[in-house]
Structure 1
């Protein structure tokens, strides 16, 4: 049920499927070992220039205090098994202990590596963002996850989710039909490739001094907590 798509497959899906997925609209890596690694230094030149915009642009609205000293960036796919595991086992504790207390702000970025429904779900969330309900749509997607490419994120279900969180359906449907946010989703996928990500979820913790720490996979809360505390010490 859980596949391990290559980076090449992810590139094809992100650049091709996003163009065709809504024409009829009215991959997680199988990680046996989760690792924690520092991200490479931000590059000033080269084929894939990494800047702070690579982490912060082309994503969700900020969740939490916009002036929080520490930033958590998640690259995820709404069909991803381990992204769903993170949402249900770890994200709640991060929100309660760090986001809601103003210590950490959170950003979600798309990395669509599993299939067409992943891209459709990303569109749904960004169209919900036009009505200031991105995170509500994000949450209802993961709350209804049942697997990869099995239809739970079909266009019919995406409509149902939009109705359940109270979106203006005329505005949301027009946004979906127009593929209004295609370029943002494509750019987010490109950011993930520049960062040489090969699976989801992948996280970057950015401290007050701009230092970034990369975390792979659905790590337990304690892993995030340890890094947050180290970075928060720098802001005192």
Structure 2
């Protein structure tokens, strides 16, 4: 899957629902992260900025969060981490693996087995999924989308109104910016910017 393949869809891919959404699926704003499990800046964002976004916007039903894979290399630990999270998703444990990997970014084969055991996966099924690399095409589709959006590294974020009839263009945030940057843009999309400053 290349950027050219995805480009023909316009920006509809931003609002696709593939089972990897956190929060209220009907939330008015969608936050999308393009990321790599080997990325130090991504881990910093997950540890410092994400908890504040989750508490203020996701847990309150205002924003839904979508994680998209953007492995920086076409093989190696970044791809392995992406595969591991999606294989965990086959057992309805995608977010458990996502959080596990950000807590400990060791991504060797034995490490991934340890992570799978920690979140109580069926280990033979997980190992089979990893061997078959059955999610590779979907991972590189995510990466192609990120490339269309102009991302060359990780993390990269997009904020968009969930209702596709809304005319606001997507807001691209190219990096691990602090919470205040996200807060300003989310509040604007929610129409709360003026209220929030009173």
Which one has a larger percent helix, Structure 1 or Structure 2?
A: 2
After TM superposition, the structure 1 = structure 2 runs for residues 36-115 of structure 1, keeping only pairs within 5 Å, are: 48-49=7-8, 51-57=10-16, 61-114=20-73
State the 1:50 CA deviation.
5.6
Moved runs in structure 1, 4+ residues, more than 4 A?
57-60
SS state at 1:167 partner: coil
Q: Counterparts of 2:149 and 2:80 in 1: how far apart (Å)?
A: 23
Provide, for residues 1-55 of structure 1, a one-character-per-residue CA deviation record: whole Å limited to 9, x for no partner: xxxxxxxxxxxxx99xxxxxxxxxxxxxxxxxxxxxxxxxxxxx9x944623332
**1:118 has 2:78 as partner:** yes
Q: Please tell me the root mean square deviation across aligned C-alpha atoms, in Å.
A: 2.4
**1:168 has 2:122 as partner:** yes
Contact preservation (8 Å) 1:50, 1:194: no
Which is worse superposed, 169-178 or 93-102?
169-178
Provide, for residues 71-120 of structure 1, a one-character-per-residue CA deviation record: whole Å limited to 9, x for no partner: 00000000011101100110011111100110000001011115610000
Q: TM-score, normalised by structure 2?
A: 0.86
Q: TM-score, normalised by structure 1?
A: 0.73
Runs of 5+ in structure 2 lacking a partner? 193-198
SS state at 1:54 partner: helix
Contact preservation (8 Å) 2:151, 2:174: no
User: Per the alignment, do residues 133 and 224 of structure 1 end up closer, same or farther by CA in structure 2, a change over 3 Å counting?
Assistant: same
Runs of 5+ in structure 1 lacking a partner? 1-13, 16-44, 146-151
| Number of residue pairs the alignment of both structures matches | 186
